[in-house]
Chain A
Amino acid sequence: MRVAVITFPGSNSDHDSYSAVKYCLQEEVDYIWHQDTDLSGYDCVILPGGFSYGDYLRSGAIARFSPIVSAVQKFVADGGFALGICNGFQVLTESAILPGALIRNRSIKFLGQWAYLRVENNTTPFTTRYQRHQVIRVPIAHGEGNFYVADGQLAEIEDNNRVVFRYCDKEGVVNDATNPNGSRNSIAGIVNAGGNVLGMMPHPERAADAILGSDDGLLLFESLRDSINKRAGEKTSGTVSAA
């Protein structure tokens, strides 16, 4: 398994994704600079947290025009796995790889705290190691994490089981009081129609080591590894049978 962590000049959680893959998952990982375009040889791309190009305009609004994001668009169109965390999720919505937008938190304040998430869909390539409706604990750290999407698209996402995580409390209760940022339907993370791209505001990579208070996020990376290995196995057997 080989992972590319994209580094925009203002990425600051790129180290977090890098070390989660390298030290917690113990897999291969490289930083890829935003002006590069070559993603060949990678099984998964992570768009990390941070402030891509300062984001004074709107989170991710400039990043979508960067050389690397064009490459990511092609990578995921070819079925490659991509995980956008926090600013990475914002970049994915800005570049229309995922639907919706991340607007200012309802409180108009930055929110840096632990959050509880309920796993809504454990059949995606990123969540197979979770139980359905399992409650996990991971940090959030964002000013613009309020997921907005128009009614029609919301219905489409919900109906197709593309909501992967919802904010909840410790007991798994999802309601307005347990929604930290005002996201529609308490949505914390979604996948694209193909299921190979996950965008989420919370930070599983900062919860991949028990010493930091939670390793619930590690299961996400382990699920991803399973999916990559499974795909590799299918490809191999496919090649064999074709031969």
Chain B
Amino acid sequence: MPSSDTITSEVKPIAGDPEVNEALYSELGILPDEFEQIKGFLGRTPTFTELGVYSVMWSEHCSYKNSIALLKTLPREGDALLAKAGEENAGAVDIGGGLAVVFKIESHNHPSALEPYQGAATGVGGIHRDIFTMGARPLASLNSLRFGSLDNPRVRHLLDGVVRGIGDYGNCFGVPTVGGEVFFDECYTGNPLVNAMSVGVVKVDGMISATMEGIGNPIMIVGSKTGRDGIHGATFASVELSKESESQRSSVQVGDPFTEKLLLEASLEIIKEKLAVGMQDMGAAGITCSCAEMSAKGEVGVEIDIDKVPTREPGMSPYEILLSESQERMLLCVKAGNEERVREIFSKWELDSTIIGEVTDTGRFVVTSKGQVVSDIPSTTLALGGETPVYIRETKRPAYLDEAHALDIGELSQDLDWNETLLTMLASPNLADKGWVFHQYDSSVRSNTVVGPGSDAAVIRLKKTRKALAMATDCNARYCYLDPFEGTRIAVAESARNLVCSGAKPLAVTNCLNFGNPYKPEVYYTFKAAIEGMSDACSALGTPVTGGNVSFYNEDPQRKVFPTPVIGMVGLIDDVACVTTSWFKNEGDIIYVLGVSKNELGGTEFLKVIHNRTEGIPPRLNMEEELRLQKTLLSAIEKRLVRSAHDVSDGGLAVALTECCIGDRDNPLGAEVTLEKLDGLRVDGLLFGESQSRVIVSVAPEDHGDFYRLLTDANQEFSRVGVVGGQRMTITGIVDVALTDLSAKFYQSLPALAERMV
């Protein structure tokens, strides 16, 4: 490691730069202590340009300064991991046959709150670049979206813009958007959450690292020209949204999916021909971040001439060019001698490629302009994992928890018409069909989509193999609000359960941790508890965390935004013929419920929709039961004994059963079910309670014996509840509704709510 504490050059401020003082660094989000640290690293006062560089690199968004210490406590080890959390732009897992799956989820919440269309679009673009910068071709994307109530016209505007943004970007880029989740609650009114996940596949020997190696190797910037968009985007993402945020709209980048498509194809050609030693996309903090991180990773230095960067407009200062977050750009460390071939490939795809500097042995990130050094900083003081600040903040158990937990279910009236209640539940935008959203996405491009949006998990086959990948995102944020530890455990378990229901073995996790201001002890408490919950569940399920993203400062001046640790999970299916979907397939099939139903109404959709309360203790997860369920079910699916499998989650058993009946919209199939009511179980608890570790399964009559034996041999709790058939859904003595009525509510509610004109 080159020494980083020697001053190697004379750095001169640029004429006209503002004076570096407390007012300036505070405005850029740097704390007094941090400023002293910077002076220590440099041995002098930083220039305005250098201060800008530190400001973005030490922003929460890039440095993870308030989260990294806790993130390092997550289980991050696994035999099949090829790129672990923090090592590369995304995690990579060996899936056999010389292939690896590369995947990651990332937030674009703040930009989307201000400019929903571009905010969401560039979120999608950014996460795909993280995947193909490793040499993997993105095969699918998912989104986890959260908005306020659709009664609010501003929320409808956000929903419309975000969905169009995701659709237009992904559809043009040519990667199918295959699933995800959409959730509505007032808490997200001013601060929607937009988390995008990309999943790609690469040959193990075709992966490339985000590093710089080989002193003298040229550094190239490729792709779009650099403009003034997105300057200080990373800093902007690291404070709470406020009235003033509106004036920072220029911090939102503008996306160009066509250019991204060209960049994808060109980059993959470069990697295939092994012309580069390292590559990193430019997202947050642009050129600065790529140069600092790649040189720190390679334990080298880098010197660039900022005047060589192709710009969209004349007169951009080094400060602006260094901090621009213009989209669709990459930084390449090319093997010397390959420059011409790299240029040829980029020019075939009609993209710029320009040598802007070279690898040095100084360990420093040096920027020159007009023959003058304008910034000279030791790389390791900028890059995550180096000498950036690390804080563990104070925690305090939130006061609201005790109050919310005080709910007495016994006080809730059960004087309800259960048919009507079910119909009301199905009309809730959280339970209703999300086709209005998903149909704006191309989910079939690339001809790999075996299961698109609408089942428990999406499934993508891998051409020329028997394998397929299942993927899902999950988080019940209401549970996390009421119990961040248990809620996060459940998010992990439910993701895994969704994959298992599709026939996949869960492999690994990526996470997107959406929380409030970490300097508030009550917020930090929920963050810490969520990390502990995730650790617990990921260890138990054997699904290591391969990386992800932390988004703090999700706050709304008027409300508490739920702590929302979104889990993205990928699973492997060895034989694509085992893929299972959630809806009933044939008349006469036998219906089972695996798992046990309890009076678990705390934090449920039922409590919110029918009683308008977000209270109580959310359902408990018994990990032993969960593991048994997943193992047993997967084994039954792999033995081809299961016709359909559907996780019981939001809305409980009655809603899950409805989804089994009408989930295949063109081919609805009814069910006649008798639910045995155990002692003390309330009707609302039975129908709408959200007890964990439950799955509705349908089995062909001829497989019934084998299936029954498999369950009893495994000591799996189950009940045989009824038979598939007819055009009504009947729960003996409680519910009896025609499927046409259920479908009307389920399929027509969201379009009506989303497209309300007033």
Contact = CB atoms under 8 A, between A and B. Distances in A.
Interface of A: 9-10, 12-13, 15-16, 19-20, 23, 49-51, 53-56, 109-113, 139, 141, 143, 170, 203, 205-206, 208-209, 211-213
Interface of B: 164, 167-168, 171-174, 256-259, 261-262, 265, 349-350, 435, 438-450, 461, 463-464, 576-577, 579, 666
Nearest to B258: A54
26 contacts: A10-B172, A12-B172, A13-B174, A15-B446, A19-B447, A23-B463, A23-B464, A51-B258, A54-B258, A110-B167, A110-B441, A112-B167, A112-B438, A112-B442, A113-B439, A141-B442, A141-B445, A143-B168, A143-B171, A206-B447, A209-B447, A211-B450, A211-B576, A211-B577, A211-B579, A212-B461
A51 B447 contact: no
Nearest to B459: A211
Interchain residue pairs A-B with the least CB separation, the first 7: A12-B174, A54-B258, A141-B442, A139-B444, A112-B442, A16-B447, A51-B172
B445 A110 contact: no
A12 B450 contact: no
Contact of B444 (A53, A109, A203): A203
A110 B164 CA distance: 8
Given A19-B463, A112-B171, A170 B447 contact: no
Given A9-B350, A143-B171, A16 B446 contact: yes
A212 B171 contact: no
B262 to A, nearest CB: 6
Contact of B447 (A20, A55, A56, A109): A20
B444 A9 contact: no
Given A10-B172, A56-B258, A211-B576, A15 B447 contact: yes
Contacts of A15: 446-447
Contacts of A109: 164, 439-440
Which of A19, A55, A205, A212 has the most CB atoms of chain B within a 10 A radius of its CB? A212
Contacts of A54: 172, 256-259
A141 B259 CA distance: 21
Given A12-B261, A143-B171, A112 B576 contact: no
> Most chain-B Cβ atoms within 10 A of its Cβ — which of A15, A205, A208?
A15
Contacts of B446: 12-13, 15-16
A123 B164 CA distance: 40
Given A110-B167, A112-B440, A212 B172 contact: no
A112 to B, nearest CB: 4
A203 B350 CA distance: 28
A55 B259 CA distance: 12
A206 B258 CA distance: 22
Nearest to B446: A15
Contact of A112 (B262, B439, B447): B439
B236 to A, nearest CB: 27
B671 to A, nearest CB: 21
Contacts of A112: 167, 171, 438-444
Contact of B171 (A16, A110, A113, A211): A110
B729 to A, nearest CB: 21
Given A112-B171, A112-B442, A143-B168, 19 more contacts: A9-B258, A12-B445, A13-B445, A23-B464, A50-B174, A51-B261, A53-B258, A54-B258, A54-B259, A55-B258, A56-B258, A112-B444, A141-B442, A203-B444, A206-B445, A209-B447, A211-B577, A212-B449, A212-B450
Nearest to B464: A23
A9 B261 contact: yes
A59 to B, nearest CB: 11
Interface centre among A49, A55, A141, A203 (most CB of B within 10 A): A141
A174 B463 CA distance: 35
Contacts of B435: 113
A53 B261 CA distance: 10
Nearest to A16: B447
A211 B461 contact: yes
Contacts of B579: 211
A9 B443 contact: no
Contact of B666 (A141, A170, A212): A170
A47 to B, nearest CB: 15
Nearest to A24: B447
A12 B168 contact: no
A214 to B, nearest CB: 10
A111 B439 contact: yes
B122 to A, nearest CB: 16
A31 to B, nearest CB: 12
Contacts of B164: 109-110
Contacts of A19: 447, 463
A110 B168 contact: yes
